[in-house]
């Protein structure tokens, strides 16, 4: 009889060693979070009991028990098997939503002056697992890049503690202060008087040249502090204007870089019209900061 009792004690002891266990697939990351639904598996000696988030206690007469948790949030699973008198507890954390990013400065589509002091203003937050990592073109409160004219991209990237990633981008424009420097008060060395200005096709005629004369084009670009900027990469495309069935066609005639003339202190180019047929031409001017000017001129056969 004594040996039988000892045998029962030994069996109970083995049952205690084979207590219930819970696993989650996929496994949580180093922060203890998952960013996808998870499958929970409970093993032990049947029957197995479990409860999710304080709900009704479930019972299964087989092992293992599996079920899926697919709702965002922090979930508490309580469980035990037939050999245990108290419930164990596991915490399962699910976050499927990427962090939120708001870029206030630079403003998307905003324009800033070359070398203008502008401080970045942005924020990142995550309501559930919290923000784990952030990378940005400039820290909030630090200067944004206004050193080069043209289109510039500002990016903020963030990852939360569950591994969800988000990125926001603001495209902004850096403009130079462009000024005319020629005696005409215009970018060209001559300009029609207001009473001479007429509309030719879609655009106003701005100047006339006699075939063989030189066309002179010049401007200066300055930054926020009034300093001359010398690396704009400006260019001019000269196109012939042809009127065909109430439409305009623009075959390319000449393309020129608009270099900075260090001796003059401004961007300057001069080209001859002696090879141009009489008629109308457009100068498509790229100032190098993303801005574009279209200037219609006329080449005359003789004065």
Supply the pLDDT for residue 117: 98
Supply the pLDDT for residue 245: 87
Query: Do the beta carbons of residue 176 and residue 287 sit within 8 Å?
Result: yes
Higher pLDDT among residues 105 and 3, named by residue: 105
| pLDDT at 8 > cutoff 50 | no
Q: Quick one: what percent of the chain has pLDDT higher than 70? A: 94
How confident is residue 15, by pLDDT bands cut at 50, 70 and 90?
very low
Taking only the tens place, the pLDDT of each residue in 37-75 is 999 999 999 999 999 999 999 999 999 999 999 999 999
Supply the pLDDT for residue 1: 32
Question: Residue 42, Cβ neighbours under 10 Å: how many?
Answer: 24
| pLDDT at 10 > cutoff 80 | no
DSSP for 256-287?
EEE-EETTTTEEEEEEE-TTSPSEEEEEEEE-
CATH number of 16-94: 2.60.40
Please state the separation of Cα 62 from the chain's center in Å.
53
Supply the pLDDT for residue 3: 32
Taking only the tens place, the pLDDT of each residue in 241-285 is 999 988 999 999 999 999 999 999 999 999 999 999 999 999 999
- Would you state the structure tokens that stand for residue 108, as one six-digit string? 């998307």
Query: Do the beta carbons of residue 285 and residue 178 sit within 8 Å?
Result: no
- Would you state the structure tokens that stand for residue 243, as one six-digit string? 């009127």
Question: In CATH terms, are 16-94 and 178-300 the same topology?
Answer: yes
Q: Which CATH number fits domain 178-300: 1.10.10.10, 2.60.40.1930, 3.40.50.1580, 3.40.190.10?
A: 2.60.40.1930
On average, the pLDDT of the chain sits at 93
Topology classification of domain 100-175? Immunoglobulin-like (2.60.40)
How do the domains of the chain map onto residue ranges?
A: 16-94, 100-175, 178-300
Supply the pLDDT for residue 18: 56
Supply the pLDDT for residue 150: 96
């Amino acid at each position: 009889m004594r040996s039988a009792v000892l045998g029962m004690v030994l069996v109970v002891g083995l049952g205690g060693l084979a207590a219930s266990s819970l696993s989650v697939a996929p496994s949580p990351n180093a922060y203890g979070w998952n960013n996808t639904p998870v499958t929970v598996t409970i093993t032990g000696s049947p029957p197995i009991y479990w409860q999710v988030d304080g709900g009704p206690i479930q019972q299964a007469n087989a092992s293992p028990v599996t079920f899926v948790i697919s709702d965002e949030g922090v979930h508490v699973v309580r469980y035990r098997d037939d050999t245990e008198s108290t419930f164990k507890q596991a915490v399962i954390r699910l976050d499927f939503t990427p962090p939120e990013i708001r870029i206030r400065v630079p403003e998307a589509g905003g324009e800033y002056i070359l070398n203008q002091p502008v401080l970045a203003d942005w924020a990142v937050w995550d309501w559930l697992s919290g923000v784990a990592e952030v990378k940005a073109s400039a820290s909030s409160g630090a200067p944004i890049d206004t050193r080069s004219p043209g289109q510039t991209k500002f990016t903020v990237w963030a990852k939360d503690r569950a591994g969800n990633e988000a990125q926001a981008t603001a495209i902004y424009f850096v403009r130079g202060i462009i000024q005319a420097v020629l005696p005409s008060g215009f970018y060209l060395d001559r300009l029609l008087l207001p009473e001479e200005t007429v509309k030719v096709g879609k655009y106003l005629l701005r100047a006339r040249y006699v075939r063989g004369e030189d066309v002179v084009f010049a401007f200066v670009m300055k930054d926020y502090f009034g300093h001359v900027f010398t690396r704009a990469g400006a260019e001019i495309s000269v196109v012939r204007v042809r009127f065909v069935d109430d439409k305009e066609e623009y075959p390319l005639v000449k393309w020129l870089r608009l270099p900075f003339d260090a001796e003059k202190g401004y961007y300057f180019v001069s080209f001859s019209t002696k090879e141009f047929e009489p008629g109308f031409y457009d100068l498509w001017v790229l100032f190098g900061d993303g801005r574009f000017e279209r200037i219609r001129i006329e080449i005359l056969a003789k004065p």
